[in-house]
Structure 1
Amino acid sequence: MMVEIPLELAQKCVKCGLCKSVCPTYPYIEEERGFARGRLALAEMVLKGELPLTEEVALQWDQCAMCRRCEWICPNDVHYKEILVKAKELQNQTLGQSLVKKAGLKGLELMQSKVGRKLVPLAGKVFKFIPKDEIKVFFPTGAKKYMPKFKEDAFELRGKVFDVKNPKATLLFFTGCMIDMFQTSTGKNVIKLLNRAGYTVIVPEDIRCCGAPHYYSGDTKTFESLKEHNLKEFEKYSFDAFVVACPTCGGALSEDYGLNKKVYDLVELIQDLEFKGDGKRTTFHVPCHSYSAMKVDPKTFYTALKKVEGDTFVKAEKDQSCCGFAGLFSITNPQISDQVQKEKIEDLSKTQADVVLSACPGCVLNLKDGCIKHKTGQKVMHIADYLAERLKQD
């Protein structure tokens, strides 16, 4: 079946070029194809039959990090994500998908399957004997990254209800792949914070990957399958709203699932809590999908951090710039990703912060990798972990 991209969506772009100013990849490609305007123009030309869909054309789309900062700044409300997803879907049907992408996306499916949920904790028992928190992994694309280890308590939160007396509301916590398997303490701290804020929290038993990595890669068939499974799982529970600690998951749920319930970022719900620090200097990296997909005001994070008594919050100059991770993008485009990451780490280093915080598990992974590689000595944490450690006692 041939994929159809509504031509009017692509033609909505008036070619003003404002997206060039915020595109993380353009400074390292420095050609028209290196930012949204050029990538949209290629999609339009392919649609009109003016340009054949070749590997060279497809490469321009694959070099997009899908941060969607172009949408965030676009004065004409161009739906860049939808156009690129359709373009990549056409690319997959015409040229096929790379083995690296296939393996990465299939891995997310398998690890979240019933068998995977048994095998991952077993792998965690083996990895716990490795003393370092991160392991240097070499990928066939030439990418080298310090990756977190599988955790022994992976998926431990699944199928549980964390009650409080007289709750403000009941929330369904969509944990996400990274928290489920690699950053399990973050999941526990999300629940700790929400319980203290007066919310009952449900963690569904059998949710799978949200499907955002598949959708952004043009694998819409798998995305729809994962979405259908998750929607059926949601129906088993009675709750008032969704909560996430990963903005990519949150963006998928709020934009692409057709839900009739609100999707909140954790930090939006804990503004009334009080925290006491220990004299640390902190800074914050705003995940791209927090504001481009979930539409969360970055000030929400700043407000929470400024309330930590005794600690000092310092805003980085480029706090809303991309960190260069973007999931599989950092594996398939290691040179561009590393350059974007380096710029981000240099900016964070200028703050002289002791602790670098973010609200995205993927960003936390990539910032840790960058701080290790560039030897900044800065500690990187998810904001949920940082705030949970500093909760004032009742």
Structure 2
Amino acid sequence: MSATLDELKAAALKCTRCGQCLTICPVYGKTYEEATSSRGKIFLLRSLADGTVVPTADLMDLAARCTLCMRCKSICPSGVNTTDLIMALRHQLKQEGKLPLAKKIAFKVLIKGRLFDIAMSHGKPFQSMLFKRSPNGRGKISRLPLPMAGLNKRRIIPEFSDAPLRKLVPAVSKPIGAVRARVAFFPGCMLNYVYAGTGRDLIKVLTANGVEVHLLDKLQCCGTPLFSSGDFEGAALLAENNVRALSNGSFDAVITGCATCGSALKKEYGAVLQNSSAGATWEGLKDRVFDVSDFLLKLGPVEYKRELPLKVTYHDACHLVRGMGVSRQPRDLIRAIPGVKFVEMKRPDVCCGCAGTFSATHYDLSQRILGDKIDDILSTGADVVATGCSACKMQLIDGLTQKGSLITVMHTAELLGKAYDI
């Protein structure tokens, strides 16, 4: 994505302005503002290239009003890579110094892996000073009416883990019996520092299936928060570190339990590492990156040990269904659990509105998008909604709580863990 503005303009000119993207854009569907649609953002990119608009903080905010759900890209009759062009617009604005100050500070900490690890590993006591446990025990709510990220709206956020995942499991988790495969597990930030119990369940599910799991020590954030905000240079530093760490070992596969991390490692690093010496190393790695559900089906899952008398529905995370092409796999695994009645919601692959930092910077808009997803989930009458993304899990818990629903939200690995009785 190191294209010049003229090259980006040429790519943007392929947009015929037919309006197909407007029909499925979650943001435009709530705002009905042209500039918030994919078509509108591509026009803004052309205008920036022409010099008819200038880089401003307001323009960056418009560019940020997109969940990057990739539905517009999948439906475009002209084959315009809308997602890449929107990120290119953000990159151009970042280069002009329009990245918000809060993101600049956060990204500097992310890049400093050791500093970020210390902050996240010891964050729970400090979190408890500002947040208290929610009445239903599903997370934390702000003690004070903090306006940022919707915290003044009684937003439910997850509690930090007592310890990061790498402190809770050994560096190498060995299965009982024959080893069917040897893999590296890339936990990402959420499964390492927040939903560490889910990360542990995922590892146990793999070992129950004869997989030897290696949790490497030097892995960092996948870089998607930076990349999707336009900071390609910062994301490249993280990508280089992760690619080199994961390539130092004769692993059969690299397993992810986070849709965003998986999509980054498998696809987006190609753009991030265009000008990096680590690009060639990534080329040799990308085809060995698998979501845990995809890997288990390819391996051939062993028989479940428990019956689960549950009605279950499934939410497709955008980065999983469109980013990694994983949709059937988790459903097949869930349907095979004895006692489970699987029920599909009407629009399972529509964005929940989380989109990483989008739900923090545009919480009200994010909640309006989420409302449709929550109604869809409630209409199924399910006991459990499963998903392959921790950020989506966080978002769904917040949305269901705001609606007064106690439907359980689980990562797919947690549900499989119960079926394997681990």
- Determine if the TM-score, normalized by the shorter chain, exceeds 0.5: yes
Which whole-Å CA distance do the structure 2 matches of 1:381 and 1:195 have between them?
20
Aligned-pair CA distance for 1:103? 4.1
SS for the counterpart of 1:146 is coil
User: Which runs of structure 2 are paired with 1:54-133 in the superposition (5 Å)?
Assistant: 54-109=56-111, 113-124=113-124, 132-133=137-138
Amino acid at match of 2:158: P
Aligned-pair CA distance for 1:135? 0.9
Which whole-Å CA distance do the structure 1 matches of 2:86 and 2:26 have between them?
16
Alignment CA distance shift 1:370-1:106 (3 Å): farther
Which whole-Å CA distance do the structure 2 matches of 1:118 and 1:52 have between them?
40
Aligned-pair CA distance for 1:142? 5.6
Contact 2:22 2:37 (8 Å CA) reproduced: yes
SS for the counterpart of 1:213 is helix
Amino acid at match of 1:284: Y
1:338 match: 367
Amino acid at match of 1:269: F
Judge which range, 235-244 or 205-214, deviates more: 235-244
Contact 1:214 1:223 (8 Å CA) reproduced: yes
Alignment CA distance shift 1:309-1:219 (3 Å): same
Amino acid at match of 1:198: G
Aligned-pair CA distance for 1:89? 1.5
Amino acid at match of 2:294: E
Q: 1:148 aligns with which of 158, 165, 174?
A: 158
1:358 match: 387
Alignment CA distance shift 1:139-1:303 (3 Å): farther
Judge which range, 254-263 or 185-194, deviates more: 254-263
Aligned-pair CA distance for 1:22? 1.9
Judge which range, 12-21 or 195-204, deviates more: 12-21
Which whole-Å CA distance do the structure 1 matches of 2:356 and 2:108 have between them?
14
Which whole-Å CA distance do the structure 2 matches of 1:24 and 1:157 have between them?
38
Q: 1:195 aligns with which of 182, 207, 211?
A: 207
Which whole-Å CA distance do the structure 2 matches of 1:87 and 1:193 have between them?
41
Aligned-pair CA distance for 1:106? 4.0
Which whole-Å CA distance do the structure 2 matches of 1:375 and 1:181 have between them?
27
Aligned-pair CA distance for 1:128? 8.4
Alignment deviations for residues 36-89 of structure 1 (CA, whole Å, 9 cap, x no partner): 111111111211223333344333211111122212222333222322222111
Which whole-Å CA distance do the structure 2 matches of 1:304 and 1:121 have between them?
33
Which whole-Å CA distance do the structure 1 matches of 2:123 and 2:44 have between them?
44
Higher helix share: 2
Q: Normalising by structure 2, what TM-score?
A: 0.85
Which whole-Å CA distance do the structure 1 matches of 2:119 and 2:226 have between them?
22
1:375 match: 404
Return 5+ residue gaps in structure 1 as ranges.
none
Aligned-pair CA distance for 1:314? 0.8
2:343 match: 314
Q: How many residue pairs align between the two structures?
A: 389
Aligned-pair CA distance for 1:345? 0.8
1:285 match: 315
Q: 2:186 aligns with which of 154, 168, 174?
A: 174
Aligned-pair CA distance for 1:31? 2.4
1:136 match: 141
Contact 2:38 2:86 (8 Å CA) reproduced: no
Alignment CA distance shift 1:53-1:46 (3 Å): same
Aligned-pair CA distance for 1:157? 5.5
Which whole-Å CA distance do the structure 2 matches of 1:77 and 1:56 have between them?
28
SS for the counterpart of 1:83 is helix
Sequence identity (%): 28
Q: Normalising by structure 1, what TM-score?
A: 0.91
Alignment deviations for residues 258-314 of structure 1 (CA, whole Å, 9 cap, x no partner): 332321111112232333333111111100111221122x22222111111112111
Contact 2:174 2:207 (8 Å CA) reproduced: yes
Amino acid at match of 2:313: T
Which whole-Å CA distance do the structure 1 matches of 2:380 and 2:47 have between them?
44
Alignment CA distance shift 1:141-1:115 (3 Å): closer
After the TM superposition, which parts of structure 1 deviate over 6 Å for at least 4 consecutive aligned residues? Answer: 125-130
2:172 match: 161
Amino acid at match of 2:167: E
Alignment CA distance shift 1:216-1:377 (3 Å): same
1:244 match: 256
Is the counterpart of residue 304 in structure 1 residue 316 in structure 2?
Answer: no
Alignment CA distance shift 1:168-1:21 (3 Å): farther
User: Which runs of structure 2 are paired with 1:243-282 in the superposition (5 Å)?
Assistant: 243-257=255-269, 258-261=282-285, 262-271=288-297, 272-275=301-304, 276-282=306-312
Amino acid at match of 2:344: K
Aligned-pair CA distance for 1:119? 4.7
Contact 2:60 2:99 (8 Å CA) reproduced: no
User: Which runs of structure 2 are paired with 1:229-240 in the superposition (5 Å)?
Assistant: 229-240=241-252
Which whole-Å CA distance do the structure 1 matches of 2:404 and 2:107 have between them?
31
Alignment deviations for residues 207-230 of structure 1 (CA, whole Å, 9 cap, x no partner): 000101100000111101111122
Judge which range, 101-110 or 357-366, deviates more: 101-110
Which whole-Å CA distance do the structure 2 matches of 1:127 and 1:215 have between them?
27
Aligned-pair CA distance for 1:198? 2.4
2:198 match: 186
Alignment CA distance shift 1:254-1:142 (3 Å): closer
Return 5+ residue gaps in structure 2 as ranges.
270-281
2:18 match: 16
Alignment deviations for residues 218-269 of structure 1 (CA, whole Å, 9 cap, x no partner): 0111101111122222233221221101111111111133332321111112
